[in-house]
Structure 1
Amino acid sequence: MMQASRLNTAAQCCFFFVLSAFSIGGTDQVRCDFVSGSHILRRCFALSRYGSEYFLSRELSWLEFEQRLLAMAAAPANPLLERLKYLAITSTNLDEFFTVRVGSLHNRLRGGNKPDLAGMTASQQLDVLSERVRGLYRGMGETYSMLCCELEDIGIRILTDAALLTEKQRTYADTYTEGMLLPLLSPVDDAALIPSNVPALAVLFEDGGFAALPLPRLLPRLVSLSESPQVFITCEALAKAALERLYPKRRVRLCGMYRVTRNGDIDADADRSDKLPKVVRSVLERRGCAEAIRLETEADMPDKLLDKLKKRLGTGRRDIYRASFPLDLSFLRSCVCDSVRDGDGLRFPAFTPSVPQEVARIAEGENLLDVIARGDILLHHPYQSFEPVVRLLQDSAADPAVEAIKLTLYRLSDDSPVIDALAAAALSGKRVTVLLEARARFDEKNNLEYGSRLELAGCKVIYGIPRLKTHSKIILIYRREGKLLRKYVHLGTGNYNDATARQYTDCSLLTARPGIAADGAEFFRALSDSAYEPDMEYLTMAPYGLRDRFIDELRHQQSLAEAGLPAGVFAKMNSLVDGRLCEELLRTAEAGVDVRLLVRGACCLRPQNNLRIRSVIGRFLEHSRFYCFGVGADRRVFLSSADWMPRNMDRRVELLFPVLDRSSADNLCGDMELYWRDNVCAAELCADGSYCPVAPVEGQPLTDAQKELLLKYTS
């Protein structure tokens, strides 16, 4: 079959690995073996036809996404507390951007400073990024000031100076400082010892001495002083006011807030999976002392103090940003939004995700597996509940006919019900094998802790595949039904995280189709046997030719258009960065195929004739990956865990899966068409890399896709 031949070709130049715990009687370690062969994958070819003028910088494109997110924080049409959340998300996203993407650019500087798709070297990008980010900081400062004024209009005030306290407030603040803050303030004499992204107070004494005081992580950034009206003061304001009490025998000359961001683009790897936990812990330690790539200070930081910080941290002018707002605005979510009582129009209306009727009406004595056996279930989160996915594991744990459960995990919620169900299944005697990716960035510690808990319950836990991150979302359940061992599968575009499932848009497919189930078994067998080449009919697995599968689909549409037949491509993803796929999209549009792309974040491709690109930012974070090739009855609809990025095609284990039930596919395509018609939250990418809001033409009704989908599924 064509699918099998693609996999066989890819296997000749990709390394193989052994995950023997996925096999009955296997051990708990993974070895990485290499198979020699000719490097003949298409990804090995350089771009041949299209110059840099067709492409955009990934990093600059990502900052455009940040700008659109900031616009949501400034938009008066959004509820006030939701706007605070958008501003907080802008701040945390920018932290991750510097930690990972700017960190990567610093690494590239040391690796030859080669140009990217858009023809920009790392040093050129860093120069442009610095100026763009300064503009973003100005916008964040203006938005923060505006939102604080609007908060005061509803009786909420945030103070940043202890001198503004009333006598009653000062008494409470002094008590809080003595009892809570001072015992946790731990000065260090070296600014370079402060962890990444932790706000700290720099102090210069009259005797020339220096101290840095990181704000205690155990305390909230905002301290509530009164409830009516609600008055808060920042933790740093109290820390500044307490310096004389902290240093009674020294005179403070200068002080100011700063925050350092360190290079987090440090990957963990090992030649065997059983070594990964130790390697990951080592990487977490290394990140704590990595090079400083950003120095943020409050706007009025004295120059003499700034010079001392620059010298100690080794940061240049390009890396320094003065902020007219409190450093690290994530507290707006945890301290303000979560503590403010509900009021008219302050938040988006509450909603209850729906559950498909066939799930809601499970007969007594049945479980979810019985329902799946009767037909596919396709869920569109968060409009439809994530609960059926959790219930699948819970019912499987309780079902005596279920013999084994295999799945992959990437990111999980705190107090995850998924972990509870897996532990229960193992304790009941079922064979539970979990590939829990220990290298999921910023979730490493959480995943290692969950892994230990699962191991204690009797699960076989694999912490990853050497040199490949496992990003696929798949559950495979083996159930004894008479003399048959039937397989049930869940496939998803998003994580097994019940918390983000209420905030991110994703899709889940629950099926017992023999073909897909057989491919699911092939998937896990490919992880367990270094010499085995998976023969899949319905699923496509990265790194075994996923890019080639997409290219084949695009070229089929090209051939249809060139023959004068209907053709089309409609795709939705988080990022479009892969050079080969970008090139193939250009060819597809040139062939006359109508190409429509919904790309939430970074997009390296400029729009062309027949190729339009839009982005939707709304109440929920768009996270689903949807790929539709063809039009009408001939269209082929897929979902995937993978974006169109080199890492997803070459350095991760991913899955692409079809939506075979025609009714489900039609319904899903209808949902995606709503996104394309959105003229409230959508923006269209222009040739210069900027985004223009999609506005309704005269007589056209307003369409907010997410709001329409909420009405469709929850009303």
Structure 2
Amino acid sequence: MNREVAMNLKDPSLYLNRELAQLEFNFRVLAQAEDPRVPLLERMRYLCISCTNLDEFFEVRVAVLREQVNMSDSRPGPDAMPPSEVLARIRERALTLVKAQYDFWNATLQPALEAEGIRFSKRDRWTVKQRRWLQGYFRNEILPVLSPLGLDPAHPFPRILNKSLNLAVVLKGRDAFGREGHMALVRAPRSLPRLIRMPAEVAQAPYDFVFLAGVLHEFMDELFPGMQVKGSYQFRVTRNSELVVDEEEVQNIALALRDELKGRGFARPVRLEVADNCPKAIADMLMQNFELTESEVFRCEGPVNVSRVNAVYEQIDRPDLKFPAFVPRVLPVVVEEGNLFDAIRERDILLHHPFESFGAVIELVRQASLDPDVLAIKQTLYRVGNNSPLVDHLIEAARQGKDVTVVVELRARFDEEANLRLANRLQEAGVQVVYGVVGYKTHAKMLLIVRREHGTLRRYAHLSTGNYHQITSRLYTDFGLMTAHPDIGEDAHLLFLQLSGLGPVIKLKCLLHSPFTLHKGLMEKIEREISHAQAGKRARIIAKMNALNEEHVVEVLYRASQAGVQIDLIVRGSCALRPGIPGVSENIRVRSIVGRFLEHSRVYWFQNDDSPEIYCSSADWMERNLLRRIETCFPIRDPQLARRVYDESLANYLADNTQAWQLEPDGSYRRIVAGDAPEHSAQQALLRQLAQ
């Protein structure tokens, strides 16, 4: 790249495509599955994660691109790549990924599992006893719930549910009505298990499983008595799962969203998966009915949904083939102090999940629900999970007569139905439920408790980088801060007022918030580092996040690099910035960590001429988070806690040489190897340091 082009920081060649960068993340996940150092059943789970991630990628990102193409919207992003070209590139990379997934499943994972007594039996390997047992299972458990559909003028092609298992069946002969059979469809209801474990009396291994699809193939003729089954072929269609609600036109967003959800499973198709042995004529028929082209068809050398094997993980009692169990540390203040309000009032409390227990947050809400001095509780809920004790405590607080307000984000993707049920349950218990702000998802993670103490009111706040979700708190890395700092409490109070009421833009003392001050604040802090570097002072930025694609942030980071600011970015997923370009980004390094836990925390550190500032946030450096969502970004002011956040989430991860990948200027990732240096895994170090 010549100097003249390099100095134009809007040049499209300086930006990676966000969709392609997001797709690349799944190759890094698959690499975890292929890593022999990872326990065998965890390798199986990584394979499944790469498959489910790919499903969601098609349901959302590819679906949006297809809509753009269909609407003749050719506006490119910062990389200047039109949607049609992006789709073509996605097709190429997705084919490579799918082939790698099935190659690993067929050639490596299945043989390795079988060597450990975990078998996924194919039809050609069933014993006589197994076939007899499976035939009985088919007749008693499967056949009664199937409704095969013969395709003819009276039975047109049916609606096929998103990501469901189906079989196209080729028939020969005549039925009882004299109808000539040619083609039928068999839809597998979701009530049927996709994997069946054979009992010990017929099993050929300690854990012997059979795919539902294999059983359907084998006994398909019993569904069509008197006819000959010439062949049956699995297929699966993926549909657009983006929900579109014109919030400014509807009177009730909850009712409008409920109506939209009814049609999600049958929205526009975006991908068709078929068995690798499916004849072209059958594939063409399916393409015609789904209105898809050859470029949207993927042939699978195995089950059309490999991720279903994840269902057996919990059934297999083999601790030696799983990650070692750990117990999140319970903070001493929770055990020793008893009253969390006393502990928080004395000093801020930092929680680093999953290494430290999320139970402290649940305990805080429990104590608040029962404390007669607590007057009000306010909380945002984006994803909360089923049977959450936290929700139970909020309901109890309302029953105790406290003022409880919960901001439920109904549009949390794929949790919309659960959040509608949650909102109804809270409302029935007397909780005031708010659905956020029209046009902006509420992604902020905030809890505010108002307590009367010695005749005055004091606010206690919990701010987090992650959701109030007890299950994911054991799987995702996140930070949470409990504080009684008056300014932070006042800021949280004003934010809740803004979410539940109507009013002007508010001015906060400590917090940055989207869509108002977070983007501007980040830009100003990066500009400040530029000024320090230009003045010959020490200047450095370290930031950890899930994704980076906001073009103005990328541009100012390029300018910072040109000014001499040293920049280290720890970006788990999609990154649109190209590091290491001479004259533009040679002072920027980007790495991605993929390990046992999903990296989810967002941490921003600015050297500020040796007066460093460190923030935690719910927001990635993405356009949607910084400009179109409600997000919070909170400072860590206690020096000891600030040092902890820096050491545990930044320095620790920059030292990782076992699970780290370095982003190269061309957009590829290179795995970092320890070489002669001692191996260091950031997540394992935190497990040793923090967990029990």
Asked if 1 retains the 8 angstrom alpha-carbon contact of 2:549 and 2:622, the reply is: yes
Q: 2:44 aligns with which of 66, 84, 91?
A: 84
Query: Given residue 225 of structure 1, which amino acid in structure 2 is its aligned partner?
Result: M
1:476 is matched with 448
SS in structure 1 at match of 2:131: helix
2:646 is matched with 669
What do the CA deviations read for 1:160-195 (whole angstroms, capped 9, x no partner)?
32x432122122212211121112223345556111
Q: Tell me, yes or no, if structure 1 residue 357 matches structure 2 residue 300.
A: no
CA distance in 1, matches of 2:181, 2:284: 14
1:198 is matched with 164
Asked if 2 retains the 8 angstrom alpha-carbon contact of 1:490 and 1:509, the reply is: yes
Q: Tell me, yes or no, if structure 1 residue 69 matches structure 2 residue 47.
A: no
Asked if 1 retains the 8 angstrom alpha-carbon contact of 2:148 and 2:223, the reply is: no
Q: 1:274 to 1:667 in 2, by over 3 A?
A: farther
1:315 is matched with 292
What do the CA deviations read for 1:473-512 (whole angstroms, capped 9, x no partner)?
0011111112111111010001000000000000100000
Displacement of 1:99 in angstroms is 0.2
Q: 1:450 aligns with which of 414, 422, 438?
A: 422
CA distance in 2, matches of 1:393, 1:192: 49
Displacement of 1:269 in angstroms is 4.1
1:396 is matched with 368
1:347 is matched with 322
Q: Tell me, yes or no, if structure 1 residue 128 matches structure 2 residue 106.
A: no
SS in structure 2 at match of 1:217: coil
1:287 is matched with 264
> Any residues of structure 2 matched to 1:231-242 within 5 Å, and which?
231-242=208-219
- Stretch deviating more after TM superposition (524-533 or 234-243): 524-533
Displacement of 1:602 in angstroms is 0.6
Q: 1:694 aligns with which of 672, 678, 681?
A: 672
CA distance in 1, matches of 2:452, 2:295: 63
Asked if 1 retains the 8 angstrom alpha-carbon contact of 2:604 and 2:614, the reply is: yes
Q: 1:192 to 1:556 in 2, by over 3 A?
A: farther
Q: 1:518 to 1:343 in 2, by over 3 A?
A: closer
Q: 1:100 aligns with which of 41, 60, 64?
A: 60
SS in structure 1 at match of 2:477: strand
User: Aligned residues: percent identity?
Assistant: 38
Displacement of 1:214 in angstroms is 2.3
CA distance in 1, matches of 2:348, 2:148: 59
Asked if 1 retains the 8 angstrom alpha-carbon contact of 2:75 and 2:83, the reply is: yes
Q: 2:663 aligns with which of 664, 669, 685?
A: 685
> Any residues of structure 2 matched to 1:141-156 within 5 Å, and which?
141-145=102-106, 146-156=108-118
SS in structure 2 at match of 1:254: strand
2:560 is matched with 588
What do the CA deviations read for 1:287-323 (whole angstroms, capped 9, x no partner)?
2222111000111112121111011111111100001
Asked if 1 retains the 8 angstrom alpha-carbon contact of 2:381 and 2:468, the reply is: yes
2:130 is matched with 169
Displacement of 1:201 in angstroms is 1.0
- Stretch deviating more after TM superposition (271-280 or 297-306): 271-280
Asked if 2 retains the 8 angstrom alpha-carbon contact of 1:274 and 1:462, the reply is: no
1:243 is matched with 220
> Any residues of structure 2 matched to 1:251-650 within 5 Å, and which?
251-271=228-248, 275-335=252-312, 337-344=313-320, 346-363=321-338, 367-607=339-579, 608-630=585-607, 633-650=610-627
Asked if 1 retains the 8 angstrom alpha-carbon contact of 2:539 and 2:609, the reply is: no
1:58 is matched with 18
Query: Given residue 620 of structure 2, which amino acid in structure 1 is its aligned partner?
Result: D
Query: Given residue 318 of structure 2, which amino acid in structure 1 is its aligned partner?
Result: D
TM-score between both structures, scaled by the size of structure 1 = 0.90
SS in structure 1 at match of 2:286: helix
Asked if 2 retains the 8 angstrom alpha-carbon contact of 1:273 and 1:465, the reply is: no
Q: 1:654 aligns with which of 612, 627, 631?
A: 631
Asked if 2 retains the 8 angstrom alpha-carbon contact of 1:503 and 1:621, the reply is: yes
SS in structure 2 at match of 1:271: coil
Asked if 1 retains the 8 angstrom alpha-carbon contact of 2:382 and 2:408, the reply is: yes
Displacement of 1:213 in angstroms is 2.0
CA distance in 2, matches of 1:460, 1:373: 27
Q: 2:99 aligns with which of 138, 155, 158?
A: 138
CA distance in 2, matches of 1:273, 1:457: 26
Displacement of 1:343 in angstroms is 4.2
Q: 1:103 to 1:176 in 2, by over 3 A?
A: same
CA distance in 2, matches of 1:464, 1:111: 33
Q: Tell me, yes or no, if structure 1 residue 218 matches structure 2 residue 179.
A: no
Structure 2 residue ranges without an equivalent (≥5): 1-6, 173-179, 580-584
Q: 1:527 to 1:463 in 2, by over 3 A?
A: closer
CA distance in 2, matches of 1:310, 1:540: 49
1:114 is matched with 75
CA distance in 2, matches of 1:563, 1:670: 28
CA distance in 2, matches of 1:111, 1:232: 48
Q: 1:74 to 1:191 in 2, by over 3 A?
A: farther
Asked if 2 retains the 8 angstrom alpha-carbon contact of 1:254 and 1:302, the reply is: no
What do the CA deviations read for 1:37-89 (whole angstroms, capped 9, x no partner)?
xxxxxxxxxx9742011110111111211001001011100000000000010
SS in structure 2 at match of 1:575: coil
2:147 is matched with 186
CA distance in 2, matches of 1:269, 1:261: 24
Structure 1 residue ranges without an equivalent (≥5): 1-46
CA distance in 2, matches of 1:482, 1:413: 37
Displacement of 1:427 in angstroms is 1.2
Displacement of 1:626 in angstroms is 0.5
Q: 1:158 aligns with which of 100, 110, 120?
A: 120
Tell me the number of residue pairs that the alignment of Structure 1 and Structure 2 aligns. 662
CA distance in 1, matches of 2:250, 2:33: 43
What do the CA deviations read for 1:395-431 (whole angstroms, capped 9, x no partner)?
1111111111111100111211121111111111111
1:4 is matched with none
Asked if 1 retains the 8 angstrom alpha-carbon contact of 2:532 and 2:609, the reply is: no
Q: Which has the higher contact order (CA 8 A, sep 6+)?
A: 1
SS in structure 1 at match of 2:243: coil
CA distance in 2, matches of 1:242, 1:276: 47
